[in-house]
A and B are shown apart, each in its own frame.
Chain A
Amino acid sequence: MNRHSIVTKIFFPFVLTTIMFAVVLLGVVPDRQAKILTANTENELFSIAKTIALTVNIALEKENLEALAEFNTFLKNDAHISVAGIFVENGDSFELLAAFPSEVESELAAGVDPIKFLVARAPFKTSNLCSGQPKQDTFI
């Protein structure tokens, strides 16, 4: 092979560079984008979980369920959220208090598969719902 030929000087570097770009575009970029998308979705879910926790806290402390009803409408209209639940701490375990939608209550009570679902959790405390065990958690 002639090291000074035009093929050696231009074509091979061009092919090599193209292959490197292809590897980056096909392998690294989608992987990073998937991670960024997952992180963004998890952040969004966490924000929603925190809002639910706050809403439940207001519902229990202030005895006002209006905000919770508004939030139910939001959940119904948001196609990204498949399941939401309110869990009450019961000793070392958690007991399902309420589920959205109500049809998934038994499945949610059995546990959420973290491989199938992205799960966000926001704990909250109330002074009056649980006697002796005031800590509760919300998962989405």
Chain B
Amino acid sequence: MLKYSIWLIVLLSGTAWAEKLTSTEPANLILVANINDTIAPDELDVQAIIRGDQGNWSNGDPILLVLPGREAEIYEQVSRGAFGESGMMMQKRWLKLVFSGRGNPPRYADSEKEMIDFVLNTPGSAAVIRAQHHQDLTQLLVKAI
């Protein structure tokens, strides 16, 4: 029994380690946005949106950005892929923008599913997620990063 328990612990530890490795691997990212169809994907400046340089959509509505929080599996993937920096630096960047009044406060989500659900249910919102969810989000505007 003890032998099996040890093997189980080793196996679970290995799985946890593998998951941690996966979450920091580079991933293809996309920006998904819940905006009306008057805005074409080509008109979107993705970098300006996710870096807070652009606070409103071209129709004047505020951009409600959803970013992965520390608990989210894609926290480091998104921060490295979209911002080119660590998750901690991404949070510092947004704290700076909001404190100085240059950016709308982003919402942090604990999972990719929560991010997608928020964007699906909130007009004017946008999020950076992994490209693998692309097919399921036909009602949203999607642009590769």
Contact = CB atoms under 8 A, between A and B. Distances in A.
Contacts of B104: 69
B88 A72 contact: no
A129 B88 contact: yes
Contacts of A65: 94-95, 98, 105-106
A101 B102 CA distance: 9
A137 to B, nearest CB: 14
Interface string B63-92: 000000110000000000000000010011
B105 A66 contact: yes
A68 B108 contact: no
Interface residues of A, number: 25
B121 to A, nearest CB: 18
A128 interface: yes
A98 B69 contact: no
Interface string B86-125: 0010011011101111101110100000000000000000
A86 interface: yes
A92 interface: no
A69 B105 CA distance: 6
A44 to B, nearest CB: 20
Contacts of B94: 65
Given A68-B98, A68-B99, 18 more contacts: A56-B99, A59-B98, A63-B108, A65-B94, A65-B105, A66-B105, A72-B98, A72-B99, A72-B100, A76-B101, A97-B95, A98-B96, A101-B100, A102-B102, A128-B70, A129-B88, A129-B91, A131-B88
11 contacts: A63-B108, A64-B108, A65-B95, A68-B99, A72-B100, A76-B101, A86-B99, A98-B96, A100-B101, A102-B100, A128-B88
